[in-house]
Amino acid sequence: MVSDASLAKKLYNAHIERYARVKNNYKPTLLYKRPLYSLLKNVSGKKVLFAGCGAGTECVSAVQRGAKVTGIDISDAAIMLAKKTCPKATFYVMDFAKMKFHKRSFDVVIAILSVMYKKDLTATLQEFKRILKPNGSIVLLVPHPVRKMMKYNKGYYFVKGRHHEFWKGTERFNYYLLFEDFIDAFVNAKLKVVKLLEPKPFDSADKLRPELKYPHFIIFKLVQEKI
């Protein structure tokens, strides 16, 4: 069976440029940026890792805020594009489930629409913790379970496991999680939620469109539990 990492690499090597272009012009994606970066106000001089950085678009904002940015992605095509998108950051082809960084290397780990490509969220979070400094934070942006229910599961919430999707003409896969699965993973990884945001996917002119009547994303800010 093809591993998740190999499958993700194959899919994004095939269509990363088109995917990045469509994603960067999709309004709900644009509207998560402000709340996301409200959690990253003081990153100047800090070492920030983007785990699953894709085309590197979000790295630009962190660099502009004075962060020392590193991005990793399993797709070598994505990393080639990221180097062009954000030349002031450092990029590596790497699986964020098995990183080559030393312990306590980063002040902030950011994963934007990437952890859902891993079956074991707890193990992924434990790897993030390994390379995180003691007072550091993890910011996750993930698909909202209600979005999966409404968009892909015909209104049925309790669908879990790996599923393939076609979004705006591109193929991808995700591990569908319920809200309780996220909380269980945080507890098991000994991480504490200090902020949870559910950005509205619309502005005032768009809110009557059916697909914009429910949240598309959740943003979690996590810190390590004090022992």
CATH number for 216 = 3.40.50.150
Residue 77 has a pLDDT of 95
pLDDT at 69 exceeding the cut of 70: yes
Quote the number of domains for the chain. Answer: 1
Q: What is the pLDDT of residue 101?
A: 98
As a whole number, mean pLDDT of residues 138-163 equals: 90
Q: What is the pLDDT of residue 53?
A: 96
pLDDT band at 113 (very low <50, low <70, confident <90, very high): very high
Q: Tell me the average pLDDT across 49-55.
A: 96
pLDDT, greater one: 182 or 150: 182
Q: What is the pLDDT of residue 207?
A: 61
Long-range contacts at 156-165 (CB < 8 A, ≥ 24 apart): 162/4, 162/119
Between residues 183 and 216, which one has the greater pLDDT? Answer: 183
What does the pLDDT read at residue 90?
A: 98
At 6-24, the pLDDT tens digits run 999 998 998 888 888 888 7
User: Residue 102 phi/psi, 5° resolution?
Assistant: -75, 165
pLDDT at 48: 98
CA pair distance 24, 28, nearest whole angstrom:
10
| pLDDT reported for residue 151 | 82
Residue 121: which domain range?
4-224
